[in-house]
Structure 1
Amino acid sequence: MGKNKLARFAENKILPNVVQPTREEALNGFELKGNWRKDFFKNENPIVLELGCGKGEYSVGLAKAFPEKNFIGIDIKGARFWFGAKEAVDNNMHNVAFLRSQIELVDCFFAENEVDEIWITFPDPQIKYRRTKHRLTHPDFLNRYKKFLKPGGIIHLKTDSEFLHGYTLGYLQGAGYEIISAHHDIYSALEYDPGTPHLRDIRTYYEELFSAKGKTITYIKFRIN
């Protein structure tokens, strides 16, 4: 393991906006579950999650755009989200946090109706059939989100994968869930959801890579409860 990674892991332990529970803590009554607003953010503002946040660009970008909301980026790779956590601390931002965990455990960290909104940004599309259940819009994951997403809460999927876009649209339509908006190419569309002006303004590291390769960026905004 490189020295830079080790240094980031070490700094994550002392950054005030990084939470790193063990698997045992997650499974046996995580102390912040149901208490994120009161005990961590010290306010009653809405909570928005970014699942698979990578370097944290989207979580930090959203936190800058919406100071009246609380944002939590979740990823198992702490050396990556260190970049976002460090930027937030350096800029004295108190409405963004980072949680190091596998997404499979996400429902262990949040209580019923605790989360207002979810962003899924450029996840692995898990194209192989045997990996179907690992797609972050698979019914198993959507059912996990239902446990803590408030009624009417919104989920956003932003991806370069036409496969994942089509798979998700097909499942949502078949299940009868509400699709608020869907776009196959947000950068060529003349119009897109006016409620998300940051959709094209905030770009992740991976989005920049995909766009440079000529890949289109797709988007779905939907509700599951």
Structure 2
Amino acid sequence: MGKDKLRKFAEVATFANVVQLEAGQAFKGKWANTFFKNEQPVILELACGKGEYTVNLAKLFPEKNFIGVDYKGNRIWRGAKTALEEGITNVGFLRIQIETILEYFAAGEIDEIWITFPDPQPQISREKKRLTHPKFLEKYKTLLSDAGIMHLKTDNDGFYAYTLEQIEGLKLQKKRETTDLYKSNLVDDVLAIKTYYERKYLADSKNINYVEWTFK
């Protein structure tokens, strides 16, 4: 591991807005009132990377709490540091494997889940690693409140098509969808937030897919 990664791993361990691994289990069922010290809704960004979406959503909605979830501490470092530097108090980060997410959040504790540009895991042998595989969708269904909402943004057409197949096969409630977000009429302040990777894709004239759905 490079020196810069090691430095970030060491620094992120000192950040008050980052919870790592098993320490996060203490907040299960009480992230709002214990971690954020309020009663506001909690929204997750899964595989948040550098946390651009998490931080920018928190800026747009100070009346809500946002948690970026990822396993790579050197990536979380960027979003967490920005939030600390800018005094954004309604944002936090949790470093865990997403497969274990039910150990960290209680049933119905989450109001929205964002999945932004995840690894599409294109190999058939890695289908179960895809974040919209039915085993993950079942976890999200448990976490979300009755009115909970799912969002996916991805540049990968194959992963998007796979996700739509799961939504339709499981008879979930699709609300909005587009295969070319920035040529659609769906773009608002929320969907206009761009991650580092999204900017790269757009610079290469890549279309951005988006779908919103619920479980009920």
- Taking structure 1 as the reference length, the TM-score comes to 0.93
Q: Deviations over 1:107-133 (max 9, x none)?
A: 111001110000000011111111111
Q: What pairs with 1:159-178 in structure 2 (closer than 5 Å)?
A: 159-178=154-173
User: 1:118 maps to which residue?
Assistant: 113
Whether 1:79 aligns to 2:70 is no
Q: Counterpart of 2:4 in structure 1: which amino acid?
A: N
Q: In structure 2, how many angstroms separate the alpha carbons of the residues matched to 1:128 and 1:9? A: 30
The alignment covers a number of residue pairs equal to: 216
User: 1:18 maps to which residue?
Assistant: 18
User: 2:198 maps to which residue?
Assistant: 207
Whether 1:59 aligns to 2:51 is no
Q: Counterpart of 1:192 in structure 2: which amino acid?
A: L
Q: Counterpart of 2:10 in structure 1: which amino acid?
A: A
Query: Residue 153 of structure 1: SS of its match in structure 2?
Result: strand
Query: Residue 105 of structure 1: SS of its match in structure 2?
Result: helix
Please state how far the C-alpha of 1:149 moved relative to its aligned partner: 0.8
Q: What pairs with 1:5-154 in structure 2 (closer than 5 Å)?
A: 5-22=5-22, 30-154=25-149
Please state how far the C-alpha of 1:5 moved relative to its aligned partner: 1.2
Q: In structure 1, how many angstroms separate the alpha carbons of the residues matched to 2:215 and 2:137? A: 8
Asked if structure 2 preserves the Cα contact closer than 8 Å seen for 1:48 and 1:115, the reply is yes
Q: Deviations over 1:29-77 (max 9, x none)?
A: x211001111100001010000000011110010001111100000000
Q: In structure 1, how many angstroms separate the alpha carbons of the residues matched to 2:2 and 2:133? A: 35
Whether 1:192 aligns to 2:186 is yes
Q: Deviations over 1:158-182 (max 9, x none)?
A: 0001111111112211221100000
Q: Deviations over 1:186-213 (max 9, x none)?
A: 1111x116xx53202x110110111112
Q: In structure 2, how many angstroms separate the alpha carbons of the residues matched to 1:197 and 1:89? A: 23
Q: In structure 2, how many angstroms separate the alpha carbons of the residues matched to 1:34 and 1:62? A: 22
Q: Unpaired runs of 5+ in structure 2?
A: none
Please state how far the C-alpha of 1:134 moved relative to its aligned partner: 0.8
Query: Residue 171 of structure 1: SS of its match in structure 2?
Result: helix
- Percent sequence identity over aligned pairs: 50
Q: In structure 1, how many angstroms separate the alpha carbons of the residues matched to 2:166 and 2:70? A: 25
Asked if structure 2 preserves the Cα contact closer than 8 Å seen for 1:142 and 1:224, the reply is no
Please state how far the C-alpha of 1:11 moved relative to its aligned partner: 1.1
For the aligned residues, what is the CA RMSD? 1.2
Spell out structure 1 runs of 4+ moving beyond 4 A. none
Q: Unpaired runs of 5+ in structure 1?
A: none
Please state how far the C-alpha of 1:215 moved relative to its aligned partner: 1.1
Q: In structure 1, how many angstroms separate the alpha carbons of the residues matched to 2:2 and 2:149? A: 39
Q: In structure 1, how many angstroms separate the alpha carbons of the residues matched to 2:15 and 2:166? A: 39
Q: Counterpart of 2:42 in structure 1: which amino acid?
A: I
Q: In structure 2, how many angstroms separate the alpha carbons of the residues matched to 1:197 and 1:183? A: 17
